Amino acid sequence: MEIGSFGSGSKQNCFYLTHEDEFWVIDLGIPYRRLKRYLEHFRLDVAALSGVWITHDHDDHVRGIKQLASQTQVPIYVHPETGRYLHLGHRSTLIEPYKTYHFSYFSFFPFPLQHDAVFHLGYLIKTPAGILLYASDVGQIDNHLLYYARRAQIIAIEANYDEEMLRNSWYPPHLKARIRGGKGHLSNLQSRDFLSRVISSHTEKVILLHLSENNNTKELVQETIIYPLQKRFPHVQFFISDRDEWMIYR
């Protein structure tokens, strides 16, 4: 099995999981033509994708979805409210929170997350390599997210901003308040606190997603999150997603 991303940050987000003849994508925040180019490395035509799972309607997560919908018959799994907002019509395969969707090698369990979107989902995914939690764009940690993360061997969680960088940034006050608010994003410190509460002896990998282009750096994520947690949990592999480049987490 392979887990990777074709970009994860403020401008674009596209995560994937593949095993044998299944190739799943979470969010399509990259251009459709770029997705086709990446899939050429797998000798895979875009029409052969197993499906795309949408978390929410923001452009950095759905930039390529309308072209995918118009040019292929690839299933697009989406919450009804998000599907209506994006005008996907008959191209939507509608999904409900707290319901499990089973396939040959993967099962997807969507659940709500707090974010300022029409509707926002995280996913608990059963994979051939264990259970994966995917939670990007998280306004606040709730008991559901804590519970699901404790079941996962692989945790993919956002680490969006450094608090000092945001405080000193050129962002206007209303945007800073939006990011810090309960429907915005997680800071490095919030992500570290979350992970310190959910990592256990069966946790194998942590993938840190969606670093802000203007208010975070990989060096700060290393210093604030990874180094302290590695001391406590030396058995866990930590990865930082690249904002723009293809990454494989292995």
Amino acid 112: pLDDT: 97
Q: How far apart are CA 115 and CA 92, in angstroms?
A: 22
What pLDDT shows up at residue 185? Answer: 97
State both tokens at 106.
């993967």
pLDDT averaged over 10-residue windows placed end to end, the chain, 250 residues: 96 97 98 97 96 98 97 98 96 97 98 96 98 96 97 98 97 95 95 98 98 97 98 98 96
Q: What's the residue count for the chain? A: 250
Positive/negative CA dihedral, 53, 248, 106, 226: negative
Q: In what order do the strands lie in the sheet with 154-158?
A: 101-102, 107-112, 121-127, 130-135, 154-158, 205-209, 237-240
213-243: burial string, b at 16+ Cβ within 10 Å, e else: eebbeeebbeebbbeebeeebeebebbbbeb
* pLDDT for the residue numbered 208: 98
CA dist., res. 69 & res. 62, Å (int): 11
Distance CA 156, CA 134 (A): 5
Domains identified in the chain and CATH numbers: 2-243 (3.60.15.10)
Report pTM.
Answer: 0.97
Instruction: Tell me if 185 sits within 8 A of 137, measured CB to CB.
Output: yes
